[in-house]
Structure formats: structure tokens, C-alpha cells
Structure 1
Amino acid sequence: MPLTMSSVLIFSVFGLLAAAIVTALLYSMFDWLRPALKRLLGSGSTLSDRAGSLRRRWSRRQTDEEAGDDLDDSTAALISMLNTVSIVVDESDEVVRANPDAYALGVVSDDAIVNEYVLEQVRLVRVKGGRRQFDLTTDTPERFVSLPADAPESGGAYGNDRSDASASVQMVSRPNWLKVTVGRINGHFVVVLLDDVSESIRFAQLRDSFIVNVSEQLLAPTQDLERLADALERGDLDLEQIHAQARQVRLSSRHLSHMVSDLLLLIKAQEPVTPSESNRLDVKEQLDWVASTLADESNRFGTPIAVSCEEGLSVNGEREQIRAAVGKLVENAMTYSLRGSTVSVSAQRSKDGKEAVIRVIDRGEGIAKAEQPRVFERFYRGANQNERTAEGIGLGLAIVKHVALTHHGSATLWSAPKQGSTFTLTLPLAHRAAVD
């Protein structure tokens, strides 16, 4: 049916009305959605600006998510410049970065913090922010303490006849004194800084021990002399009492002289020894000399000395220092051994054939594990003193350690309760080809 003019007019009117209604509806919906769009896109900007803003926000979100896997280069570089030992921990308490010393100090193991208090502080800082500072004492794990080249894998005191399964090589490791700081880097990472102040604390302990021991040694002869002088001045003592006090003065003076001699020897044992043909020493000759010199003391204590030495062992060194070091070990063994027990002194080549291994073994009460880290320190004296060691000043084993170091060797200890102790002095063997 053909359209008339009136039909076209009617359809046009209805089309205009429909377009008006749709436009009104769209305008109404836009006005209703305007607050939400403003919150999404932001106000006061063009559509292109708003689209750019959305792109930037998405980019930042991606960057933040990627940053969760690792530190940015600038932060990592800054941490690496710090003088302290650093540990970086992520949101799951996993160690993502750590200075190697963090493992040796006993704080980190297998990419995790093993000290519960440090881990507790890390979690606290992650939640609350801020910074935590505290002192911490740790022990060095045994795997970071070097075993002597000739140490047995298990049992025995470096080759002696002890077979108790509970006795094993016990390595000496000093405690670590740390100043710890924990802080948050960002929402993903917490950093732990460890400042190792062990050396300063050990120096303070050494200083205190020096003051106490030297003061006692200096005061003793002075007080004995003063008592003897008072008695002579009053004239109320018989000859036997005067002799007794004079003997006490002589004994105190001998201890003082002994201390001064040890201090001088300790000072001499600071410079490394240079091997030469002129300072080549036969090891057996040195051991026999020590045993002969200490024969009277051995008889008095009731602790015979048994010497055994592999033939052909020689080292380069200062004769006085080598003899003093071995003598200190033997004296120490006799004073802590039970009467009737034998002190064994032996020397043999190490497993690799490069060193002379001198061992002094006693059958005493042993040294408590808690005291073992300090036995080679100057002026340190353990708790198990007896009447034989009451006048000691704690320099003997320090001399042994320094003699070992100056001769490019080492000094080590094995000890177990009721099993006695084995001190080992290891020195490089002399080789003619090296000194010609």
C-alpha cells in the first residue's frame, strides 16, 4: 500500500517522540551515574586525561606486584653498602637476601631466621612499623668451625685409647655478641641489621681479667713482705715463724717472677717465625727436653709423663717458644690429672703429611663445654681449680695459642666430662727444599 503524505508525517512525529524519550532516558541515567564516574575517573580532567590516569594506576599496580618478588636495585645497593651484616625478609618470613656472616653468626639457616626472638621482632615490625633495637647472644654453628686436618670423624680424643661412644670431637666456638636493629623497608620487606661487637666485649673481659690477676700477683708479695717486716720490728716471733714467713715471701716473689716471664714470652710470641735452616728443630728432642725438665714436678704430683714420637719429625721455629708451649701443656695436664694417672705426650705426622701434630692427653675431670671457648684467652681461669692451680694466672694456654700462630700452626682442644682433655699443637713440618 503506497504511503501518503499524512502517513509519512505521522511516522516522523512518532520517530521524533521516540528519539526524545530515549535521549531523556540516557540523560537521566548519565546524571544518575555521574557521581560513580567521578569517583572512578576523577573530576576536573578531560576524557583522555582520565583514561591516561587509569593506565598509570594499572601500571603502578603491576610494578608493585613485580616488586613483591625482589628488591629494587637502589635499595639493594644501599643495603650492600652498610658496614653491618644485613638480612632481608619477605612477607612469608623467607630470607631473600642475607650477608654470609648472618649464617656464621647463627641467625640464618636454610633461607630462614632460626632465632625465635629475631623472628618475633620481624613480625612485630612488619605489622606495627617503627624500629626495634636489642642485644642478642648467639653461638656459631659447628659447620662453620674448622676441624683440624687430622681430627677423627667420631669418637676418641685424637687417637687415644678412649672408646666411649659419647665422647666425640668437640669444636670450640666463642659466643657472638650482637647489636640488632629491625626495620621495615616497605610493605613487602623487613631488614635485620646485625652489628657484631664480640671483639670489644672479649677485649673488655680480657682487660678485667688482666687487672684482677695482675693486681693479685702484685699485692701478694707486697703483703707478705709487710707482714714479715712487722714481725721483725716487733721482735715477738721465734726463728721458725720468721723462716715460715720468709718462705712465703719467696713463694710470692717466685709467682710474680713467673708472671713477668710469661708476659715477656707472650710479647715475644707475636712476630711470625720465618723458616730457615738455622731454626730447624727436631721434634722428639724438644719433647724429651720438656719431660726431663718437668721430671721432679711429675714425681711430686704422682703423674708420670709418657713420650712417644714418630721418627724424622722436624719443624722450623724458636726453640725457647716451642719448648715453652709444650711445657705449658704438660704442666697443665699434670696439675689437672689425678694422682697415679699418666700424662701422654705424642707427636706424629698429620694425615696429609704436611704438619707435625703434638698431642698432650690427660685423664682429668675434663673441661665444661661452656668454658671451652675461653680457655686460650689471656688471664682466663676456669672454675675447676684445685690446690695445685690456685696460684696460676691464666697465661699458659694463651702462650700456647700465640706460639702456634707465630709458627703458622694451630692449637685446639678436645674435652668431655669425666674423659679428660686433649690439647693439640699443630706445626708445619720443615722441608729442606723450602729453606735452601
Structure 2
Amino acid sequence: MTLPQIALISLAIGLLIGIALSLVVVWAYRARARMDEETSTTVPEGVTDVLGSMDDAACVIDTSGLVLAASLAAARFGIQVGATLDNPELRQLVRGVRATGGTATESLRITRGGLSLDPRLVSARASVISPRMTLLIIRDVTEQERLDQMRRDFVANTSHELKTPVGAVTLLAEAIESAADDPAQVRIFAARISAEASRLGQLTGRIMSLSRLQADDGLGDVRPVAIDEVIAASIEAHVVQADSAGVDLARGGDRDVWVRGDAQILIEAIGNLVANAIVYSPKGSRVGIGVRADGDIVEIAVSDQGIGIAEADRERIFERFYRADEARSRRTGGTGLGLSIVKHAIQRHGGEVLLWSRPGRGSTFTVRLPRIDSPVSGDVKKEKKRKKKREKKAVKAAAARVRNGETA
């Protein structure tokens, strides 16, 4: 074998050895990178920033259940960085995802902040982001569930309430047809049909009012509203009802108080309180409507001396179609929507409704609304300022004329 051949063979062997060593080094680096990845508890770059911008509760958890990073909202569920994830259901979800290496979503009821009260319905989603870390996102859907349930109840209750007058009208129409030869009976049935039709119209009207109040649109005609006008209109609309029931209506309290809102909606809301007070008051009693201005708040209280509301009913009295006294509501044609309309109407005006009641002593509904300055008094103040400016201007002009006369 010649020398050049030996050199070529040596070169080839050296090249193969170099390639093998390079492959070994690359493999070693990759193996170390995999090992570091499997054993690392460092949160990936950017994940912390993403968590900080999330509105939902979210956190990164290692294999021991330790929270490595968390969003601000996670604190509502007692999840803190450096602490372990305490909730057993969430831990079970994370363990299941880590075992399969995928993603899973479950609906759970958990408590917030480790409290035993106030369970929340959440949609929890867990995803593996590394061999030792799992991302957990918790979305509170309690309010959404409540709204969905309210919609379902509203449809069911509305259907049930509409069936009664519609069914009555149908039966009465059949009764009229069968009593065509008896004019007296026809008149009686016709009067009852008219009453049922009136009740049906009242129910549909209140359903439409409640739907408008619960819509996302703002109030229609927003302007300064005089509470004096609201009280006067509410009382005037129910004078006949009060006279028929033998109940006196009395108005008292502060005058010239103003709020901002829709006058018609406020009149309907206060009117509903007055109407309820009349219905549940005994003959010869009094219903009082009082107004009190307290700083930036105006309070409108409607009090009666009626049967009162049991403690068990007070929490639900503002629910749609809820009646504390079912028999009396049916007898008087009540729809069970009046107080619900009051609550939503006042809330749309930035206020609240408070209730005080004692069985056998009566009830007081107090409406609290943000107060504004009287626009009339504001115009008077502006006119006074303009008058002072005119007077100052006139004095300056007269002084200037005097100076000019002296110099002349």
C-alpha cells in the first residue's frame, strides 16, 4: 500500500471519527435539554405576562401541586403563587390531564377563597404545557347560569300566567254561545270576558315593560325629573282605587327635589308601590308617600298599615311572578310583576329599593335615587350672576365717563 493511499484512508477514518464525535455531542446536548425540560420548574417566557393580562382565574402548577404563576383573578379562589392548589376537584382534574398529556374541561362547583359558603359554578380547563407544568384556567359562569335559569323561568312562568286568562276567555266564549237565548247570562259572561281581557292586557303590558327595563338599551327620555311631579302623578293615577278600597293617600316630606331619569318609568315604579300598598291595606287605613332629601340621595318611602310580609317571603318578593299572598293576588288581578318592575326601574336609574315589614303592622318600601341640583334654582343662580356682571359693567362704564369728563 502506497503512502498516498494510507493518507487517504487515515483522512477518511478521521472524518468518520469527527462526525461520530459531533453526533455524540449533539445527542448529549439534546438529552440534556430534554432532561432540563423535564425537571425544570421555570415558567416559560411570556406565560407570566399572559396570566397578568387575563380576566379569568388562571395558574401554572407543577407536579407537586405547587402554584408557580397565577393571574390576579386567581386570588378570588384562594390560589396564590408559592402555595399548593387546595381544591381536591381541581387537583383531580390536573392529575387526569397530566396522566393523559392532553386537555380537559369540566364544570365544577367550588368555593371562593377557601370559604365554606358561596359556592360558584366554574368551567375549569387544564392543559399540559411541559412535562412538569400544567396550565389551569377557571372561568366563573355562576352569573351566566343564573341568567339562563331566569330566562327559562321567565318563559315558563309567562306561559303559565297567560294560559289562565286565555283559557278563561275561551270557556266564557263557549258559555256565551250556549246561552245565546238568555240575554242576562250573556251579559254576565260578556262582563267576565271583558275582565279577563283587561287582565290579559295588563299582564302583557307589564311583561313588555319588564322586557324593556331588562334590555341592554339605555333609558329613553333622560332629563331632570321633579320628584314632586312623580309623586303627584302616581297618587292621581290611584285615587279611584284608593277610594274604592276605603284607603286614604297622604303625601309628606321634602319638596323641590330632583333626580335625573325617565319620568314615565319613575311614575310607573312609584305607582306600582302605591297600588300594592292600597291592595294590601285594610279599609279605613292610610297609605303614606314620603320624600326625604339626604345629601346626594333622595328617598321615597311608600308605607302602608296592611298585613305585612313574612320574613320567608322578603328575599323573593322582587322576583318575577312571585306572590306572597297568592289568593289575594288572584282576587285582585295581580300579575306578580309589579315589584320586579320597580326593582329593575330603580336599578336602571342607579338606585336601590329597600324593604321594611312586620306581619300585622304593615310594610314600607323605600326607593333611594341619586339626587341632582334643581335646574330651576340653577337658572336663577345663573341669572343673578349675569345681573351682577351687567351691574359691574355699568359701574365701570359710568366711572370711565366721569374720568373722561374730568380730563376734558
* TM-score, normalised via structure 1 length: 0.58
With CA pairs under 8 Å and 6+ residues apart, which has the higher RCO, 1 or 2?
1
1:135 aligned partner: 107
After superposition, the Cα gap between the structure-2 partners of 1:264 and 1:365, relative to the gap in structure 1 and judged at 3 Å, is same
1:386 aligns with 2:322: no
Mapped contact 2:63–2:133 kept (Cα < 8 A) = yes
Inter-partner Cα distance in structure 1 for 2:302 and 2:285: 13
Inter-partner Cα distance in structure 2 for 1:387 and 1:366: 19
Identity of aligned residues (%): 23
Matches of residues 305-384 of structure 1 in structure 2 within 5 Å? 308-332=252-276, 345-350=289-294, 353-360=295-302, 363-366=308-311, 371=316, 375=318, 380-382=320-322, 384=324
Where in structure 2 are there 5+ consecutive unaligned residues? 1-18, 380-408
Mapped contact 2:157–2:321 kept (Cα < 8 A) = no
Matches of residues 2-401 of structure 1 in structure 2 within 5 Å? 53=28, 57=32, 67-68=40-41, 71-76=43-48, 85-90=57-62, 93=65, 95-102=67-74, 107-108=77-78, 117-122=89-94, 125=97, 130-137=102-109, 177-197=121-141, 201-202=145-146, 204-216=148-160, 218-235=162-179, 241-266=185-210, 270-272=217-219, 276=223, 279-281=224-226, 283-291=227-235, 293-294=237-238, 297=241, 308-332=252-276, 345-350=289-294, 353-360=295-302, 363-366=308-311, 371=316, 375=318, 380-382=320-322, 384-390=324-330, 391-401=333-343
Counterpart code for 2:367? L
1:403 aligns with 2:345: yes
Counterpart code for 1:364? I
Inter-partner Cα distance in structure 1 for 2:264 and 2:221: 15
Provide the secondary structure at the position in 2 that maps to 1:185: strand
- Residues 250-282 of structure 1: per-residue CA shift (max 9 Å, x gap): 221111221343345456655336765xx431x
Mapped contact 2:257–2:293 kept (Cα < 8 A) = yes
Structure 1 residue 324: Cα displacement: 0.6
Q: Among 347, 367, 376, which residue is 1:425 paired with? A: 367
Mapped contact 2:234–2:267 kept (Cα < 8 A) = yes
After superposition, the Cα gap between the structure-2 partners of 1:314 and 1:214, relative to the gap in structure 1 and judged at 3 Å, is same
Mapped contact 1:333–1:343 kept (Cα < 8 A) = yes
- Residues 278-324 of structure 1: per-residue CA shift (max 9 Å, x gap): x431x245335434544565577788766553344222333322111
- Residues 88-139 of structure 1: per-residue CA shift (max 9 Å, x gap): 34556455544445556xx346677676533543455556765443223568
Counterpart code for 2:89? Y
Provide the secondary structure at the position in 2 that maps to 1:425: strand
Provide the secondary structure at the position in 2 that maps to 1:403: helix
After superposition, the Cα gap between the structure-2 partners of 1:131 and 1:323, relative to the gap in structure 1 and judged at 3 Å, is same
After superposition, the Cα gap between the structure-2 partners of 1:50 and 1:73, relative to the gap in structure 1 and judged at 3 Å, is closer
Aligned residues: 346
User: Where is the helix percentage greater, Structure 1 or Structure 2?
Assistant: 2
Structure 1 residue 333: Cα displacement: 5.5
Provide the secondary structure at the position in 2 that maps to 1:389: helix
- Residues 195-238 of structure 1: per-residue CA shift (max 9 Å, x gap): 45556545544543444444455544443333333333323886
Provide the secondary structure at the position in 2 that maps to 1:316: strand
Provide the secondary structure at the position in 2 that maps to 1:230: helix
* TM-score, normalised via structure 2 length: 0.61
Inter-partner Cα distance in structure 1 for 2:140 and 2:247: 44
2:388 aligned partner: none
Where in structure 1 are there 5+ consecutive unaligned residues? 1-43, 144-173
Inter-partner Cα distance in structure 2 for 1:175 and 1:341: 45
Inter-partner Cα distance in structure 1 for 2:243 and 2:164: 28
Inter-partner Cα distance in structure 1 for 2:120 and 2:254: 39
After superposition, the Cα gap between the structure-2 partners of 1:311 and 1:182, relative to the gap in structure 1 and judged at 3 Å, is same
Counterpart code for 1:74? G
